Structure 1
Amino acid sequence: MHIVDVCGFYSPEGGGIRTYIEQKLRLAELLGQEITILAPGAKNGVQQVSPSSRIVRLQSPNFPLDRKYFAFTDRGSVHAALDRLQPDFIEASSPWKSAQFVAEYPRRVPRSLVMHSDPLAAHAYRWFEGLAAPNSIDRAFDWFWRRLRRFGREFDVVVAANSSLTKRLQDGGVPNAVTLPMGVEPGLFSPGKRQECVRTILLATCELPPDATLLVSAGRLATEKRIPMLVEAATVAGRQRQIGLVIFGEGRAHKKILRVIDGNPHVRLLQPVRDRELFATILASADALLHGCEAETFGMIAAEAHASGIPVIAPRGGGAGDFVRHDPALGFRPTDTADVVRAILELPHGGSSSRIAPAARSVEQHFRELFALYHALAQSALAVA
């Protein structure tokens, strides 16, 4: 089956979506699929990744809010590219222009909308935090909900990676919404990667002894990640017991986070670790992941921590919320610093090396299930035709 992913936010310099796309392309041949990523770019071109996968770029203008990205603006060129590619199934990867252009494509081809972003949770709920409840904000943004409901009717399936988002979509009247969790790289993240010497070094970086508790946080330093809240919570919890927090990341909130740390020697902000093997060792060597974002559609770092056998302290909501169900006491109310402090103090003192290794869902399992769903929808469309 030839699947064309009309991906408005793919960029070689991107983050989570880039990783997801690269995994999809790498697994295409193994899973017996032909995959084409149709993405906006600086100029037209084709990058052949394997005999079964490629990236086709359409010349498009820069995305105004981030020059690393480009944006589809010409429906005609997207439709013409789809005519040339002759897909058996079309996937749209955001609820913006790419989804609109795919919905309007006139050929009878089954199609899906994959919710790689949750704009209301990531932006609107945060903008009006403390001023209005989410249900009031939803009413104010009913234009966006009408858009999602229309997409639910025009697409054969709307795929969400976490149960919280699926429930919100269903409660908002969006038809055809299903949950299909993503997965982690098989064999990379494991409790077996834990090294007490790495743990000791990281605690020493925080000027703490080996019997202290080591928390790690990792990811883009963006406002919606709520790193300042985590720093404040770890600082307050650290007044009751020895707690070190090491944050790995870079981004536009870097200076703000340093101001909140305010010289606390037990909290360190370090550059991201791009060596995946080393990062897997660091993650497994921590006593817990501390995560603040309730707006992620999956929560890849939470999945990686879960596969590494360490507890996940995270909000009860969004992608990471699916992982705190394993330790309900470690879930906290989103945006509630005091409840984050409580969750941190629920951890046992010192290390967690006796923790039982969980069963980790692999990225290959995710794509097998996704492609099986697409195949079933394509077969149903043929039967109706």
Structure 2
Amino acid sequence: MRIVDVCAFYAPSGGGVKTYVERKLRAGALAGHEVIILAPSDSDRVVEAGGGRIVMLPARRFPLDRRYSYFDDEASLHAMLDRLQPDLVEASSPWASAAMVARWRGGAPRALIMHADPLSAYAYRWFGSVLSREAIDRGFDWFWRHLRRLDERFDLVVSASDSLSRRLEAGRLRRVMTLPMGVEPGHFSPAHRHEGLRARLLERCGLGPEATLLLGVGRHAPEKRWPMVIDAVTSAGFSTPVGLVLVGDGRERGRVRRASAHNPHIQLLAPMHSRPALAELLASADALVHGCEAETFCMVAAEARASGLPVIVPDEGGASDQARSGGGLLYRAGQADSLAGVIAKFARADAVARRRAALESAPAVMTMDDHFDRLFAAYDDIAGARRHVA
């Protein structure tokens, strides 16, 4: 089967989408499929990778993040799909590119991969303090109508978490399938724990080995809520010794630095591009803490679970599924006081038991290879559903 992934948020510089794409190319080749990634770019080159291809289609730069481009020419996209002659088409973003794929007049079946949850990332975060979720959904009914139109035109809508699937089905989408993404195999394991590294990181935080070492990993972006996490760690630290190592960077770096400036027990590290180094760091902390309730899957929480690390995450979004699957801890999304209370309780009473539970569940964490086996099997099921889309 020739599978063309219209991948709106692929960037050669890295990130979770790049990791997912590279694994998909290899998994597709091993399964006997030809996977082609069609990505917006500032050039028209073709890259051979992992037994498949990455086809760059010239497009405009995304104004808020110049690492990315976005599909802005529907005729050009349709012409490329005509040229590639796919047996199945994926759209990996629910925005304009998915509507372009829906309007393509080719006969191949198509799948929408919900790698983004715009309502949680933006609308619920912006207005959640003053309006109910139901009121926000009514105000953004135009987006739900957009999703329902896509649901009508696609053969499959793939969601990476039960929490997102429930919301989509409540919004009257009918073709939703839950399929967690999985972690990159061969990297993450409790065996990578390094007590010396843990002690050095706590020392950098001005704390001794008896303190609790929390780890945060992710972009410095508004929806990640790192200033809220920092406030919660600071508050919990008044009653028990807690250090936080936060790995990442992004356009909110100024706010993150200001939030952490007066707490010597918080250390900011640059993004880590070495998978072995990240695996050792995850395995060597005491818990992962995460602030974003808009995750569709939460890859870093899954990687932490595979490393035997307890997770402390919000009670909404894909991260919450990771906690429920692996014995993690939940706090009220967006509430620093709730997170502070959970951190303090974990540090004083729960750490040993939670660590034991995380170690026991680590081998059961789904890998990306498992994910792609199930994804390609689902595609085989709809491969015969060829029809013309007006």
TM-score class, shorter-chain normalisation, is: over 0.9
Q: Give the aligned residue type for 2:96.
A: K
Tell me the equivalent position of 1:92.
91
Residues 1:362 and 1:326: Cα distance change in structure 2 (over 3 Å): closer
Q: C-alpha deviations, 1:217-268, integer Å up to 9, x for none?
A: 0110111101111111111111111111111111111121121123211111
In 1, Cα distance between equivalents of 2:257 and 2:209: 25
Q: Give the aligned residue type for 2:311.
A: V
Q: Are 1:357 and 2:360 an aligned pair? A: yes
Q: Give the aligned residue type for 1:94.
A: S
Tell me the equivalent position of 2:295.
296
Structure having greater relative contact order (Cα 8 Å, sep ≥ 6): 2
Tell me the equivalent position of 1:47.
47
**Structure 2: runs of 5 or more not aligned:** none
The 5 A counterparts of 1:178-189 are 178-189=177-188
Question: CA contact under 8 A between 1:162 and 1:319: conserved in structure 2?
Answer: yes
Q: Cα distance, 1:329 vs. partner?
A: 7.0
Question: CA contact under 8 A between 1:212 and 1:349: conserved in structure 2?
Answer: no
Tell me the equivalent position of 1:255.
254
- Equivalent position SS for 2:360: coil
Question: CA contact under 8 A between 2:245 and 2:269: conserved in structure 1?
Answer: yes
Q: Which moved more, 1:166-175 or 1:268-277?
A: 268-277
Q: Cα distance, 1:66 vs. partner?
A: 2.1
Question: CA contact under 8 A between 1:6 and 1:90: conserved in structure 2?
Answer: yes
Q: Which moved more, 1:235-244 or 1:22-31?
A: 22-31
Q: Cα distance, 1:38 vs. partner?
A: 1.1
**Structure 1: runs of 5 or more not aligned:** none
Residues 1:273 and 1:57: Cα distance change in structure 2 (over 3 Å): closer
Q: Cα distance, 1:45 vs. partner?
A: 2.3
Q: Give the aligned residue type for 2:382.
A: L
Aligned alpha-carbon RMSD (Å)? 1.7
Residues 1:80 and 1:329: Cα distance change in structure 2 (over 3 Å): closer
Tell me the equivalent position of 1:110.
109
Tell me the equivalent position of 1:342.
341
Q: Cα distance, 1:354 vs. partner?
A: 4.5
- Equivalent position SS for 1:182: coil
Tell me the equivalent position of 2:38.
38
In 1, Cα distance between equivalents of 2:193 and 2:348: 17
Q: Which moved more, 1:210-219 or 1:318-327?
A: 318-327
Question: CA contact under 8 A between 1:213 and 1:349: conserved in structure 2?
Answer: no
% same residue: 49
Question: CA contact under 8 A between 2:155 and 2:382: conserved in structure 1?
Answer: yes
Tell me the equivalent position of 1:21.
21
In 2, Cα distance between equivalents of 1:164 and 1:265: 36
TM-score normalized by the length of structure 2:
0.94
Q: Cα distance, 1:319 vs. partner?
A: 1.3
Q: C-alpha deviations, 1:271-308, integer Å up to 9, x for none?
A: 12222111111111111000010001110000001101
Question: CA contact under 8 A between 2:322 and 2:328: conserved in structure 1?
Answer: no
Q: C-alpha deviations, 1:59-87, integer Å up to 9, x for none?
A: 12222222222221222111111111111
Tell me the equivalent position of 2:263.
264
Q: Cα distance, 1:27 vs. partner?
A: 2.2
Question: CA contact under 8 A between 1:330 and 1:346: conserved in structure 2?
Answer: no
The 5 A counterparts of 1:133-282 are 133-282=132-281
In 1, Cα distance between equivalents of 2:35 and 2:111: 14
Q: Which moved more, 1:180-189 or 1:21-30?
A: 21-30
Residues matched between the structures, number: 381
TM-score normalized by the length of structure 1:
0.95
Q: Give the aligned residue type for 2:60.
A: P
Q: C-alpha deviations, 1:195-222, integer Å up to 9, x for none?
A: 1111111111111111111100011011
- Equivalent position SS for 1:289: strand
Question: CA contact under 8 A between 2:246 and 2:267: conserved in structure 1?
Answer: yes
In 2, Cα distance between equivalents of 1:230 and 1:160: 27
In 2, Cα distance between equivalents of 1:210 and 1:178: 45
Q: Cα distance, 1:26 vs. partner?
A: 2.5
- Equivalent position SS for 2:384: helix
Q: Give the aligned residue type for 2:181.
A: M
Question: CA contact under 8 A between 1:191 and 1:357: conserved in structure 2?
Answer: no
In 1, Cα distance between equivalents of 2:360 and 2:382: 36
In 2, Cα distance between equivalents of 1:141 and 1:304: 33
In 1, Cα distance between equivalents of 2:64 and 2:142: 22
Tell me the equivalent position of 1:3.
3
In 2, Cα distance between equivalents of 1:143 and 1:171: 15
- Equivalent position SS for 1:28: helix
